[in-house]
Amino acid sequence: MEDKMIWVESTVSELGLALELSEDKLQIAHEAASLAMSDLSTAVVTKFSSLSGIMARHYALREVTGQIITDSLLRLKGLTADRQKKKMARTRIVGYTKL
C-alpha cells in the first residue's frame, strides 16, 4: 500500500507542475493525495469498501485538517458533500453518527 501512496503523491506533484498550479493549490493537492489512501486499513473501510476516501475525509476532519483538503479527498473519489451524505445513508452503518 505504501508503494501506491508514493505513486499517487508523485503523480499529483507531476500533474500539478504540468498544469502550472499555484504553490498553494499544489500543496493542497499534495496533502490530499497523502491522505487519500490513509483509511484503507481501517475496520470501517475493510468491511464497507465503498466508503474508501469518504472515511479518509472524516478522519482528516477529526484531526483538524483544513476544510479545503478534506473536500479534496471527496473530489478524488468523484464525490461532493451531498453525494457523500447520500452514500453514507445507503450504506446504513449501524450506529452511524455525524462526525
| Nine cell digits for residue 63 | 484531526
**What's residue 9's pLDDT?**
80
Range of the domain at 56: 2-90
Q: Is residue 95 part of a domain?
A: no
Q: Is residue 55 part of a domain?
A: yes
pLDDT tens for the chain, residues 1 to 99: 667 778 888 888 888 889 898 998 888 888 777 777 666 667 776 777 777 767 777 777 777 566 777 677 666 666 555 665 665 555 555 454 544
What is the total count of domains within the chain?
1
**What's residue 59's pLDDT?**
73
Count of CA atoms in the C-beta half-sphere (13 A) of 79: 21
Q: Is residue 98 part of a domain?
A: no
**What's residue 80's pLDDT?**
56
**What's residue 67's pLDDT?**
72
